Amino acid sequence: MANKVIVETTINGDPVELLCEPRQSLLEVLRDVLELTGSKEGCLTGDCGACTVVIDGRPVCSCLMLGVEAAGKQISTVEGLASGTALHVLQQKFLEHASLQCGICTPGFLMSAKALLDHNPNPTEAEIRYALAGNLCRCTGYDKIVRAVTDAAATMAGRSRPAHGAVPAETASGMTGEMLAKGEVK
């Protein structure tokens, strides 16, 4: 049996003292010891980015780090992204652009995107795609994620938001809204 170790660290601005086994990854410590289950596990090998947290300003796969290595570090997780009930611009833009389908990749993308915008408030699309290349999303094809991050950067910089994707052409549906509103139901 491994002997547990006391680790002192800072998580989302709060000092934390925790007890973990030396073999536990930071991701395991966050999820199972501290019950911060917002960081997700997709692979445990550093390939999917679902576990991304920001440590001392840099995005890190928390599955590749040991919990004991967190000592003395400043760690930000998705749970600390919003301020109270006010969402971070990135969170808001992910919602507006429908950038999540299943949502399992979302915490990791948000943290990678936050680390990017903190360093580079005005990234090009290529820079956004490069910064997010370590995060896998299997649902969206990334299009709406890239749009959300672009829009978030613009909003945070006070620029006007880029146009949303076109609204689809008039429908040829047999049922119209008027029919429904008038109670002419099928």
Partner 1 sequence: MAASTTNGFRVIGTRPIRHDGVDKVTGRAKYGADYAFPGMLHGKVLRSPHPHANIKSIKVDKALALPGVKAIVTSADLPQMPDKMEAAGEQAINLNHLSANILARGKALYDGHAIAAVAATSPHIADEALRLIEVEYEPLPPVMTVEDALKPGAPILLPSLRNKEEGPDKETNVAAHLQFKRGDVAEGFKQADYVIEREFKTAMVHQGYIEPHNAIGIYNADGHATIYCSTQGSFVVRALSAAVLGLSEGKIKVVPAEIGGGFGGKTTVYLEPLSVLLSQKTGHPVKMTMTRAEVLRATGPTSGSTIRCKMGATRDGKIVAAQCWLAYEAGGFPGSPVGAGAMTILAPYNIPNILVDAYDVVVNRPKTAAYRAPGASNAAMASETVLDEIAEKCGLDPLDIRILNGSHDGTPQTVGPPFKRIGFIETLEAIKNGEHYKSKLTGANRGRGVASGFWFNVGLQSSATVNIHTDGTVSVVIGSVDIGGTRAAQAMIAAEVLGVDINDVRPTIADTDSIGHTDVTGGSRTCFATGWAVYEAAQDCIRQLKERAAKLWEKKPEEVVFQNGVFSPTQANGVKPMSLKEMAPRLARTGGPIVGRATVNARGVGPAFATVCVDVEVDPDTGKTQILRATIAQDVGKAIHPSYVEGQMQGGMAQGIGWALNEEYFYDDRGILRNTGLLDYRMPTCLDLPALETLIVEVPTPGHPLGVRGVGEVSIVPPPAAVANAIYHAVGVRMTELPMSPPRLLKAILKKRAAGETQAAAAD
**Among 16, 104, 154, 156, interactor with partner 1 by CB under 8 A:** 104
Q: How far is the CB of 153 from ligand FES (least distance, A)?
A: 20
102 vs 179, which CB is nearer to ligand FES?
102
Q: Among residues 7, 11, 29, 48, which is the contact residue for ligand FES, using CB under 6 A?
A: 48
Of 7, 11, 89, 100, which lies in the binding site for ligand FES, with binding defined by CB under 6 A? 100
Using CA atoms, how far apart are residues 132 and 66, in angstroms rounded to an integer?
23
Q: By CB under 6 A, tell whether 42 contacts ligand FES.
A: yes
Judging by DSSP bridges, how do beta strands 74-76 and 52-55 pair with one another?
Answer: antiparallel
Regarding 137 and contact with ligand FES (CB under 6 A), the answer is yes
Query: How are beta strands 74-76 and 5-11 bridged, if at all?
Result: parallel
Given ligand FES, partner 1, none, residue 61, with its beta carbon under 5 to 8 Å by kind, binds ligand FES
Residue whose CB is less far from partner 1, 32 or 69: 32
CA angle 84, 88, 93 (to 5 degrees): 140
> CA dihedral in degrees (96, 102, 108, 112; nearest 10)?
-40
> Looking at beta carbons only, is 140 or 183 nearer to ligand FES?
140
Question: Quick check: 70 binds partner 1 (CB under 8 A)?
Answer: no
Cα separation of 52 and 146, whole Å? Answer: 17
Indicate which single residue of 14, 83, 84, 186 sits in contact with partner 1 (rule: CB under 8 A).
186
Q: Cα torsion at 114, 75, 82, 85 (round to 10°)?
A: 180
